[in-house]
Homo-oligomer: A and B are copies of this chain.
Amino acid sequence: MLLAGTVVADAETVVEDGAVVVEGDRIAAVGDATDLAERYPDHERHEFGIIAPGAVGAHVHSVQSLGRGMADDVALLDWLNDHVLPMEAGLGAEGMRLAAELGYLECIESGVTTVVDHLSVHHADEALAAAVESGIRARAGKVLMDTNAPDGLRQDAEYALAESEALIWNYHGADEGRIRYAITPRFAVTCTEECLRGCRELADAYDGVRIHTHAAENADEVGVVEERTGRRNVEFLHDVGLTGEDVILAHCVHTDEREREIVADTGTHVTHCPSSNMKLASGVAPVEDYLARGVNVALGNDGAPCNNTLDPFTELKQASLLAKVDAADPTVVDASTAFRMATRAGARAAGFERVGALREGWRADVIGIDTNPTRATPIHDPVSHLVFAAHGDDVRFTMVDGDVLYDEADGRHRTLDADRIRREAAAFDVPGVE
Contacts and interface: CB of A to CB of B under 8 A. Distances in A.
Nearest to A425: B377
Contacts of A279: 320-321, 324, 330, 388
Contacts of A387: 72
Interface in A370-397: 372-375, 377-381, 384-385, 387-389, 391-393
Contacts of A373: 393
Given A68-B389, A75-B330, A79-B330, A428 B281 contact: no
B73 A331 contact: yes
A374 B69 contact: no
A381 B434 CA distance: 11
A68 B377 CA distance: 7
Interface residues of A, number: 66
Contact of A422 (B79, B309, B322, B374): B374
Contacts of A219: 328
Interface string A271-299: 00001011111111000000000000000
Contacts of A42: none
| Pairs A-B, 8 closest by C-beta atoms | A278-B321, A73-B334, A278-B325, A281-B330, A393-B393, A308-B389, A281-B324, A308-B388
Interface of A: 66, 68-70, 72-76, 79, 102, 105-106, 109-110, 219, 275, 277-284, 307-311, 320-322, 324-325, 327-331, 334-335, 372-375, 377-381, 384-385, 387-389, 391-393, 418, 422, 425-426, 428, 430, 433
Given A73-B331, A308-B388, 11 more contacts: A69-B380, A72-B334, A72-B384, A73-B334, A102-B377, A279-B321, A280-B324, A281-B324, A284-B325, A372-B422, A374-B418
